A and B are shown apart, each in its own frame.
Chain A
């Protein structure tokens, strides 16, 4: 049994930022992660991080407004104001920690253009911004000597008297379950990208935190809002950064036309992601695609710019496609990338459950609403990661250490034993995961409709039934990844259901949720957040008004 004031689950940007904040505020803090901090999927964020820096002549109001507009007016404006106002100091803070941000000729921070924003306010490190920040936060964690439980998997939250008092977790190396008590638990486990197949997300992105919170009774919000990134590779779903277009790249159809001029005359390729993905899909659906893709053409940027500013995606092109982006345009298509929804939190990261916080992609504050702007996710992680850590550290000061019986592990041990004892039935975790992913990709896509989503829901219910009987192919104690995958799939089949249920219910088109049977935004009936509660009969939906401060909804055009 271990004991801490604040326990952070997940060691990506949000998790490490939260842990640093909590520790600096004097709380005994620990991080628990199912991998090693530098393996976290924040690594894969490429393009940059947004901020309106006053001393560089920018204004946070503009950033906030463009975020509101990008969210298709579903983002809570009080939270978005905090995000935009806190952005400047967050960037400076990261720079002071050691992030090697790109510079302008005067040696001050330099910026690049990103989608949905008129001004260049995206700070970046070539096209490895996520990795460059992740590794610096890891450096800070090493400096702070924060306790990190590496390669531990959280199996459940300890809920007593309606509050969260810690977790039960398995040390993967030994297979041993332990109770770790905490006065506050912060979930920072990222998204649930593996619900879709293919996905830009890594294999570890399985929505564990969302699943843990949902099982513990916390509502998930706006889960139907899933982002399809306009430029992903066809076969493996790997991401080609938006910075490629921010640096001036073109999108071309089979006729060689820059088709975005038609859909977004002002912003063109740099319209917001939902708009660009829909435009691409329309081109493909209407027969102007190439083998299910459109082309991302960077040749005119020149070899030098490609090899310095976009070196990583160029490396990907060479590794997986066999050519440099300086020589040939690369086929891309919309691919699942990010979930705007997540565990409902307030602006301090607090969920509906006392003692339980969430931050980053796993949370829904909501700052992204119906569609997230590129480079706002990294900002979300550091701003709300820090706020959660600070708030949790204050909260725990007046709270006695929870008393949890060590016998609490038996509950999870029993569950795992039952899972391991199931006889083989020819089915497998991998097959169920793939069927779930395919069902989602087929019918809960860029364009959605009632019939398709009903099919998807039926398919997901089948995977839930199969999940109840599936056997784990490896029975060992030491590093049993087969068992971990089974536990992860348990979270994912439920999350998939929540996504489809929310999408089926929302009878309008808003942000990334585009329905062919309800093509218009309906502010009268649907200017509201979806909440999903876990019940025995699946998700129970409820709704919550959107918070407005200064921006009235307008028709959205780019």
Chain B
């Protein structure tokens, strides 16, 4: 079938700015069951040798060919032409986001790997090394296969909405990798790891937008892993130094108390009543809210029937206990 690939080009060696970055359309005859990568390779081999992209395995295991197709990141070797076709048989192909472009569809992934490095991404067992293998349950190992399926393609980092605003965020791939060690029964540094991941830029900065879950080509579920790390942080009682845990607790307490959220109380309970610097830091937010007439009332009245809300909440906790489920990730 005749299709058009509209490809975002970037040539840093071009003499003028308008020649550096532009869109180029290629017409390709694509077999029905072919992939977008097949088309890109066909262009590169037979139409335009200067079209630059990374690819290798063609089987969604090497992680080289992550790009944006029609605005969302994915592996081109896993993206069927048929499914990607838009209006007038056009497919839009662009380099990944949140990472600087080197040339055409090739991005500089050093930011990606810097973040992976930052989570101490290697097993840190404690105690003497046994002569034989470390004993572990097959169930635990199988659970880890899900995270180890990450091929570091960068799709999640490309489309992470937090990273777009704050490059300090460790991001979905690195945190999923972090979870791989926290969930490994052979690792002995869970507490130290969680302490690190609790900091600014860590697990509490995810806004749960689900983008990483949607674009991950390997079903790694990075956001889910971040939520599991939050649960772990809660379990480990890191309340004393984790605003994230305290924020979650304060949220629950507030709803339990009045049946709805009391924002002012939330801030105070998260940071602590005597934490003047942090509270002062929130003043501009409060002022902006006041200016937009969004300032919550400082005096909070419980909603009618608040007892019912409390009953629902305690019932939910009971059910969790009975079913042996871990508390809901927050």
Give CA–CA (A109, B184) in the complex, Å.
15
User: At the interface, yes or no: A217 with Cβ under 8 Å from chain B?
Assistant: no
User: At the interface, yes or no: A131 with Cβ under 8 Å from chain B?
Assistant: yes
**A102: which B residues are within 8 A, CB to CB?**
138, 141-142
User: At the interface, yes or no: B61 with Cβ under 8 Å from chain A?
Assistant: yes
Whether A44 contacts B62 by the Cβ 8 Å rule is yes
Whether B151 contacts A131 by the Cβ 8 Å rule is yes
Give CA–CA (A236, B37) in the complex, Å.
12
Nearest-CB distance from B140 to chain A (Å)? 8
**B50: which A residues are within 8 A, CB to CB?**
473-474, 476, 482
> What 1/0 mask marks residues of chain B from 218 to 236 whose CB sits below 8 Å from any chain A CB?
0000000000000000000
Q: Name which of A32-40, A265-273, A380-388, A502-510 contacts chain B.
A: A32-40
> What 1/0 mask marks residues of chain B from 149 to 161 whose CB sits below 8 Å from any chain A CB?
1111000000000
User: At the interface, yes or no: B240 with Cβ under 8 Å from chain A?
Assistant: no
**A44: which B residues are within 8 A, CB to CB?**
57, 59, 61-62
Whether A43 contacts B45 by the Cβ 8 Å rule is no
Given A92-B133, A96-B129, A428-B49, A139-B58 contact (CB < 8 Å):
no
Q: Name which of A295-303, A312-320, A326-334 contacts chain B.
A: A312-320
Whether B57 contacts A478 by the Cβ 8 Å rule is no
Whether A139 contacts B122 by the Cβ 8 Å rule is yes
**A429: which B residues are within 8 A, CB to CB?**
49
**B21: which A residues are within 8 A, CB to CB?**
none
**A92: which B residues are within 8 A, CB to CB?**
131-133
**B13: which A residues are within 8 A, CB to CB?**
476-478
Give CA–CA (A121, B45) in the complex, Å.
43
**A308: which B residues are within 8 A, CB to CB?**
142
Give CA–CA (A36, B133) in the complex, Å.
30
**B109: which A residues are within 8 A, CB to CB?**
36
**A481: which B residues are within 8 A, CB to CB?**
44, 52-53
Whether A143 contacts B122 by the Cβ 8 Å rule is yes
Whether B144 contacts A100 by the Cβ 8 Å rule is yes
Which chain A residues numbered 86 to 105 have a C-beta less than 8 Å away from chain B?
91-92, 95-98, 100-105
User: At the interface, yes or no: A135 with Cβ under 8 Å from chain B?
Assistant: yes
**B135: which A residues are within 8 A, CB to CB?**
106-108
Give CA–CA (A107, B137) in the complex, Å.
5
Given A39-B63, A105-B138, A428-B46, A202-B58 contact (CB < 8 Å):
yes
Give CA–CA (A322, B82) in the complex, Å.
13
**B53: which A residues are within 8 A, CB to CB?**
481
Could you pull out 28 A-B pairs where Cβ atoms are within 8 angstroms? A38-B62, A39-B56, A92-B133, A96-B129, A98-B123, A100-B141, A106-B135, A107-B138, A108-B133, A126-B145, A128-B61, A135-B152, A139-B122, A142-B121, A142-B122, A202-B57, A203-B56, A238-B58, A316-B59, A319-B78, A428-B46, A430-B44, A430-B45, A474-B52, A478-B12, A478-B13, A480-B52, A481-B52
The 3 closest A-B pairs by CB, nearest first: A473-B49, A98-B123, A430-B45
User: What is A's interface to B at a CB cutoff of 8 Å?
Assistant: 35-36, 38-41, 43-44, 55, 91-92, 95-98, 100-110, 125-126, 128, 131-132, 135-136, 139-140, 142-143, 173, 202-204, 236, 238-239, 308, 311-312, 315-316, 319-320, 322, 428-430, 472-474, 476-482
